[in-house]
Amino acid sequence: MLAVGDRAPDFTLKDQNNEDFVLSSFRGEQAVLIVFYPMAFTGICTGELQVVQRELASFQNDQVQIVTISVDSVFSHKIFSLREGFEFPLLADFWPHGEVARRYGVFNEEGGFSDRGTFLVDREGVVRFTQHNGANDGREPSDWLEAIHAL
């Protein structure tokens, strides 16, 4: 897994609207909070992302952009975002299956999905916060806010 101080691997993934999201396009502009989750429509994942949506102005503003990533397809993400009212990018690490999660060290080979990995990447592309929980071990989004405020 990536460590604090590592350069975050760049990636381009499609969001729920089939638009490209390019991590490096935020360099010099905003920090990016990257939240990997196992699968859409599951209890823990939905609960974590609902907290983000309720407090979206803290996670997505002039200083920081939040993105979430799972191995689900763009189409699944579209329905998931519409059903839950999510107003932030849900990125599809669908094909090659889990490639970005592997590069960040959070792909669960046994399950075929990503674990719950969280990375805060600063404006220069350097990792400033990491968290790695198993698929069944939920996270506290308040930890992410503390990391954002510490930037």
Mean pLDDT, to the nearest integer, of 38-61?
96
Mean pLDDT, to the nearest integer, of 3-10?
98
Number of domains in the chain: 1
Kindly state whether residue 139 falls inside one of the protein's structural domains.
Answer: yes
pTM, two decimal places: 0.96
Per-residue model confidence (pLDDT) at position 36:
98
Per-residue model confidence (pLDDT) at position 88:
98
Mean pLDDT, to the nearest integer, of 19-47?
97
Q: What residues are paired with 126 via a beta bridge?
A: 7
User: Among all residues, which ones are annotated catalytic?
Assistant: 45
Name the nearest CA neighbour of 130 among 65, 49, 35, 39.
35
Pairing of strands 113-114, 107-108: antiparallel
Kindly state whether residue 41 falls inside one of the protein's structural domains.
Answer: yes
CATH code of residue 70: 3.40.30.10
Q: Give the percent of the chain with pLDDT over 70.
A: 100
